[in-house]
């Protein structure tokens, strides 16, 4: 969802030729990244332990990569 929201805001900034929307999107991206790194990932690591650690090593955070095996 985070990537989808950033894509929409980026699209709006291009469509409306608005640097302010682009700056807003950059702020959103920073906020999303900090939320994921500082809250979501530690919480999931506590909740799922080793399984989440293996998952985190196998996949990329923001951009999908090759299929993984747990």
Could you tell me the residue ranges of all domains in the chain?
A: 2-58
26-29 — which CB contacts under 8 Å span 24+ positions?
Answer: none
* pLDDT score at 9: 97
- How buried is 25 (Cβ within 10 angstroms: 0-12 exposed, 13-18 middle, 19+ buried)? buried
Kindly state the tokens that stand for 34: 């900090």
- Whether 68 has a pLDDT exceeding 70, the answer reads no
What's the N-to-C CA distance of the chain in angstroms? Answer: 23
> pLDDT grade, residue 2 (50/70/90)?
very high
- pLDDT, one tens digit per residue, over 11-56 is 999 999 999 999 999 999 999 999 999 999 999 999 999 999 998 8
Residue 69: phi and psi, rounded to 5, are -125, 135
Reported pTM: 0.80
């Amino acid at each position: 969802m985070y990537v989808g929201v950033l894509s929409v805001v980026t699209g709006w900034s291009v469509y409306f030729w608005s640097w302010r929307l682009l700056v807003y999107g950059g702020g959103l991206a920073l906020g999303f990244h900090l939320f994921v790194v500082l809250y979501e990932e530690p919480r999931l690591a506590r909740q799922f332990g080793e399984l989440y650690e293996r998952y985190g090593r196998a996949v990329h955070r923001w951009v999908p990569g090759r299929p993984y095996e747990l």
